[in-house]
Structure 1
């Protein structure tokens, strides 16, 4: 929703494969019945290692992410006129450094990196709680479909719940990435803090949560596929705990690509809704989420829901990089 991220949104989402290994480690801790201190230390090592890998990987693919966001929201941007809209990925990549400077490729990246830590902590906390609710007493071997449905439900609910807390960061990331001004005078926002403060002042807390409802719908679909399908697929392997990194990568890539494509229209609509904050009267393009769906389909056609989707595929290639990087970092923390 990561986009549709982690993964996400997408990374891509990825939003990111570091969390796959974090989930596995947390799950293994419960099975081994460690002491509380051992569990905390191990979790923190996994958490920090995943965070470092996420920061590096998200920063590496930030230019691709910004291109995707610009293509998604340019029709709803006050700064981009019909004559100056980007024609596609290549046109966007060429024009950004020329018109805004090379470093502008990383606008909104700080918010995206910061968002990782609370998102992961919340996902892990809620995922275990929801697993007890949806999977308590379910036998994977004799009740496969119930086990599969439980994984979908627990993963989706965990992602949606965590989104309640980190949505303003995702909102700010989108608005900063969509800001095409070159100098300070042309920029709509000067940074993360300025973006949140400015929107809060004009629209209140509600302004920071525009598009939240459709985000929840998209995140449930994406996270359900990510957590649910990945966990289920891993559970079907002969030795899930010792799965080769290449197999884990292939499973994650397949799940990420499929989930990202299915949830992408929801991501487009939610980001269009985010662009409405700060607008008044006649400047408001969409009356609500349903109106946004309707107008995009009517005015731009169904293909508009998937603008920038190809960049998700490119960004998803970073999955292998994250897994290898995370594994290498772990060697120095254990």
Structure 2
């Protein structure tokens, strides 16, 4: 079908815009996760208590920087440089699949919760409705990729010189055989429970910071609002992470996400700890989430729920560097999105 037979003349340009933006934003997301993978792995090891130097915490209590560096050195000595990216492929796959699923459901859930568009809802009602449709799309995506998240936790926490799991599929087989198939969803209810306060905090802080920081937003690229299906794809570009908002969208998003992650970090630590029990023999694993929480508190008190929180903030640096670089390339090359 030619452009004159039912499609606007500039639709092909909008299509190029969408796929270029999809490729750029997707690639940036993948590269940012790859860049922060070593920090993420050590953070997970600290959360679940399998860091190689976990027994020497008392000796290094006065030198937290040296303690963290020792974790990286131990992984390098035991597993080599590739060990720093142990499980990163599984983590990136879950991130990509979850992102696609969330974006695919985002438009539909918004239409359910905010019929007529978001401009019809202001104040507290608009805030609650936004949090609701974001939670619905995020909950569906999390449920879809959750077994991969469990696999990543167990692969990243496997710090023995002789690895127990050869890869993600080997982990799936062993966990299902030892604990049952439902163990691959261990911690999902807690993850969903954590997601709602996370979204409420992140969305509220974003709404607070955006008017202050996004004063020089520039102009949106020209988008065809009348395009037929799959015209909704272009909506994702306009409302997702358009390059014309750079760099303030990164600043606002990073700050909002970091504060929300820090506020919900104890729940995330408990969820990781509960996930990692899939890698243990049934006789050695806690029988319930409550028992897992009691064990963590008895072992490390309240500090145990915040293990690795500093690394969680530190990993933001390489991610922001990668994302900023991609956005800079987008802004510097007009032909890339034209």
Same fold flag (TM > 0.5): yes
- What 5-or-longer segments of structure 2 have no aligned partner? 1-7, 61-66, 220-243
Structural RMSD (CA): 3.1
How far 1:44 moved relative to its partner?
A: 3.5
Q: Is the 8 A contact 2:53 2:70 kept in 1?
A: no
Q: Give the match's secondary structure for 1:180.
A: coil
1:173 paired to 2:152 = yes
Matched ranges for 1:106-117 at <5 A: 106-117=85-96
Alignment counterpart, residue 69 of structure 2, candidates 74, 90, 100: 90
Structure 2 matches for 1:27-46, cutoff 5 A? 42-46=17-21
1:312 aligns with 2:312: yes
Give the match for residue 64 of structure 1: 39
Please give the TM-score of this superposition, normalised by the length of structure 1. 0.76
* 1:229 and 1:255 in contact (8 A); partners too: yes
Pairwise CA distance, 1:229: 4.6
Change (3 A) 1:63 1:238: closer
Rg (Cα) greater in structure? 2
* Secondary structure, counterpart of 1:259 in structure 2: helix
- C-alpha distance 162-196 of structure 1, shift in aligned 2 (>3 A): same
- Cα distance change of structure 1 residues 278 and 70 upon mapping to structure 2, 3 Å threshold: closer
Contact 1:122 1:162 in 2 (8 A): yes
Change (3 A) 1:82 1:112: closer
Pair 1:274-2:250 in alignment? no
**Equivalence for 1:122:** 101
Q: Paired residue for 1:303?
A: 303
User: Secondary structure of the equivalent of 1:187?
Assistant: coil
- Superposed CA deviations along residues 208-265 of structure 1, whole A, max 9, x for unmatched, are 1111111112233334444565367547855756465232222122202211101211
Report the alpha carbon displacement of residue 268 of structure 1 after superposing the two structures with TM: 0.6
Corresponding position: 1:163 with 2:142: yes
Match of 1:252 in 2: 253
Alpha carbons of 1:139 and 1:152: their partners in 2 closer, same or farther (altered >3 Å)? closer
Distance (whole Å) between structure 2 residues aligned to residue 268 and residue 199 of structure 1: 20
Matched, 1:219 2:219: no
Where do residues 137-216 of structure 1 align in structure 2 (5 Å cutoff)? 137=116, 140=119, 143-182=122-161, 186-216=162-192
